[in-house]
Each structure stands twice: as C-alpha cells, then as structure tokens.
Amino acid sequence: MYKKLSSLLALVVIVTMVMAACGPTPEPTKPPVVQPTNTTAAAAPQPTTPPATAPVTDPTTKRLKLYAVQHAQCSFDAFWCTVEAGIKQAASDMGVDVTILAPDKFDLEKTAQLIEQAVAARPDGLALTVTDADLFRAPIQKALDAGIPVVAYNSGNGPIVDKIGYLTYLGQDEYQGGYQAGQRLAADGGKRGVCINQQVGHTGLDKRCKGFVDALTEKGIKAEVLAITDDPAASQTIISDYYTANPDTDIFLTLGPNGANPFYAFYSQAGLSPDKVKHGTFDLGPEIIAHIKDGVTMFGIDQQPFLQGYGAVTALMLRLRYGISPAMPVTATGPGFVDKTNVDVVEALAGKYR
C-alpha cells in the first residue's frame, strides 16, 4: 500500500513540471518610468562645500593704523620737530602707520576738532596732547567709547587728575619743572622775575609759570607772567618793552625755543650780560645749547621730546599687539636739567633726540 502511494505522488510531481515547461513565458517586469521635472529636487544631490571661514588675523603682525593729534607742529615750533622725529622713528621701527594732525597755529578749539576727526577715522589707537583736559574730555571719551586705546604725550596730568580714562601720560611734571627752575634761578637772590609764556592758556605752560612764580615768591622776589606770541619779531618787541617798563627785572624764564630765541635777540640788543640778568629755559635746541655753553643761559630743562613721541607709539603698539599696558598713570620723561656740567653729553643730540 505504501509503495502504491509513493508512486502516485511521484507521477503528480512529473506531470506538474511538464505543464510548467510547456506554458507561456512571462514578460519581464519593466522598471517604472520617471517623468522629468523642472525642480531642483529631482536632480542628483551634489556634495556640500563648507563655507569659507574668514582668516584669523594675528594681532602681533597686524599693520596698525594710529593717529597722533597735537596742539603744535614742527613748522612753527622747533621743539616739535624732535617730538615728530620720535613718532616717525617708532612708526618705522615697529611697522605701524601714524598720521599726525595739528593746527597751523596755536588753537585749542581747532585741536579739539582734530581729535574728533581722528576718532571718526576709526584708527587702531590714538595718541594726543591733553593740552586742556576740560575742552578735550568729550572728544577723547568718544574714542574710548569706540574701543580705541588712547595715550597722552607731552601735555597732560595723567588719567586720574585729568579725569579721562586714557592709558598713561608720557611727559614731565610741568609745575615741578617751573618750581625747580625758579629755585635755581633765585638761589642767590634777585629783585624781580618774569616767566615769558608764548602760549597762555596752554595748561602745561601755565603750570610752568605757576611753579616759577611760587618759587620766587617763597624767596620774597616779585614775579609775574609775560604773554608773548609764536612770532619771533613781535615777541622780541614785547620783551623789550617789558624790560623798559621794569628795568629791575633780573630773572627770566622762557618756556621753549619760541620764547628763548626772541629773548636772545632782546638780550643782545639791550647789551645785557650774565652778571646783570639770569636766564633759564625749558627745552633744548642749537641756540639754547650755545648759550648754555657761553654762560648766557643757566640751564635748559630737558623733557626728552623724542622719547615722548617714540614712547607714545610704543605704548599703543604694546597694548594693541601684546595686551601690555603702562603700569603708572604718569610715565615721566622729565624734568632733567642740562647745564655746563653735562651740556657736552647732549650737545650732539640736541634738536634731534634731546
């Protein structure tokens, strides 16, 4: 019985295979047709390129753009030739660009406007003479609010006294310079003293005269201030007229070449001599050096103008490139007295580096 069932199943399998082989061949399945479209979504995806990133600027190699705004310039005051020489030398040494702005004559309102102009140019840093802290406070604050670091040079009292948040003041203590000058000039007495000021209203020069007058007053010597101008001929006439009206004047202090040179012309014309009058001055220059050597001038007060210009650029560069800030509110460059004992040391440098 089992053999008959097995034979029957085998016969069914054979018949089924023969029928499948003899049936029609099925058509192959065709892939679906995709109709083209005008949309970008149908396009093959493209590899994505990451957006370019802006190059990172190394602050230690960046070419800095600085501005220097000062109340005077080389063309009308020889002292400033030395300051500007320091600025230009520092710019060359440190690979920075410095634009110097100054009025064409002593004009503090114009100087304040030049500070505004410099701030509008958005420099990396700003150096300036804080000749009048009250007048300059607002334009300087605009620079600070814009994130522009500021240093003062030649004129100023430091950020604490001036109540302006600049980094430091590079210069001398003007009052002490005048006071010490007065002490030296009045050491052996005198009858009358005069401080010859070519820029009355300049707070630094006014402080020099204040110190001088205070020192002479302590000695019981009458002293006052004589206003002249930056015009040599007119200033010589003013000094001469003053002496004619006050012939007992025997102590003279001038505040730089623009006062000293007219004084020398007056001195020669009046036939004066060192045994009749004593003279001291601020700053140095060829004429001042010559008259220190011949005894007409007791001393020249050296505030190192080259260092003031060079140092201002250096301070800004260090802050901007390396994050290094001055440690003190005042970075002193003077006063230093040049007289017969040390004049030979600075003679070759006067008018250029001293």
What CATH number did the domain enclosing 229 receive? Answer: 3.40.50.2300
Residues 197 and 235 in one domain: yes
Q: List b or e across 275-311, with b for residues whose CB sees 16 or more CB atoms inside 10 angstroms.
A: eebbbbbbbbbebbbebbeeebbbbbbbbbbbbbbbb
The residues, ordered by sequence, that sit 6+ positions from 263 with a Cβ below 8 Å of its Cβ are 196, 236, 239, 252, 254, 279, 281
Residues 288 and 196 in one domain: yes
- What integer is the mean pLDDT of 82-94? 97
pLDDT of residue 57: 61
- What integer is the mean pLDDT of 182-192? 97
Residues 74 and 146 in one domain: yes
Residues 190 and 240 in one domain: yes
Instruction: Establish if 152 belongs to a structural domain.
Output: yes
Instruction: Establish if 32 belongs to a structural domain.
Output: no
Phi, psi of 340 (to 5 degrees): -65, -25
pLDDT of residue 179: 98
β-strand partners of 98: 66
Of the candidates 255, 265, 240, 212, the one whose C-alpha atom is nearest the C-alpha of residue 72 is: 255
Residues 166 and 118 in one domain: yes
pLDDT score of 1 more than 70:
no
Q: Which amino acid is at 263?
A: F
Residues 85 and 162 in one domain: yes
Instruction: Establish if 269 belongs to a structural domain.
Output: yes
pLDDT above 70 coverage of the chain, percent: 84
Residues 100 and 186 in one domain: no
pLDDT of residue 95: 95
Domain that holds residue 92: 65-172+304-335
Contact 311, 170 (CB under 8 A): yes
Residues 291 and 329 in one domain: no
pLDDT score of 30 more than 80:
no
Report the SS3 class of residue 313.
helix
Of the candidates 287, 300, 305, the one whose C-alpha atom is nearest the C-alpha of residue 339 is: 300
Instruction: Establish if 88 belongs to a structural domain.
Output: yes
pLDDT digits (tens, 9 = 90+) for 32-56: 443 433 433 334 444 444 445 545 5
Choose between 34 and 315: higher pLDDT: 315
Structurally, the chain folds into a number of domains equal to 2
- What integer is the mean pLDDT of 56-75? 86
β-strand partners of 172: 334
Report the SS3 class of residue 336.
strand
Average pLDDT of the chain is: 87
pLDDT of residue 213: 98
Instruction: Establish if 139 belongs to a structural domain.
Output: yes
pLDDT of residue 77: 85
The residues, ordered by sequence, that sit 6+ positions from 67 with a Cβ below 8 Å of its Cβ are 98, 99, 100, 101, 118, 121, 123, 125, 126, 127
Which two structure tokens, joined as six digits, stand for 69? 């705004």
The residues, ordered by sequence, that sit 6+ positions from 337 with a Cβ below 8 Å of its Cβ are 180, 184, 299, 300, 301, 302
pLDDT above 90 coverage of the chain, percent: 77
Choose between 324 and 53: higher pLDDT: 324
pLDDT score of 311 more than 80:
yes
Residues 208 and 252 in one domain: yes
pLDDT of residue 350: 76
pLDDT of residue 348: 83
CA quadruple 290, 291, 295, 297: dihedral positive or negative? negative
- What integer is the mean pLDDT of 164-189? 97
pLDDT of residue 238: 98
pLDDT of residue 20: 39
Residues 185 and 289 in one domain: yes
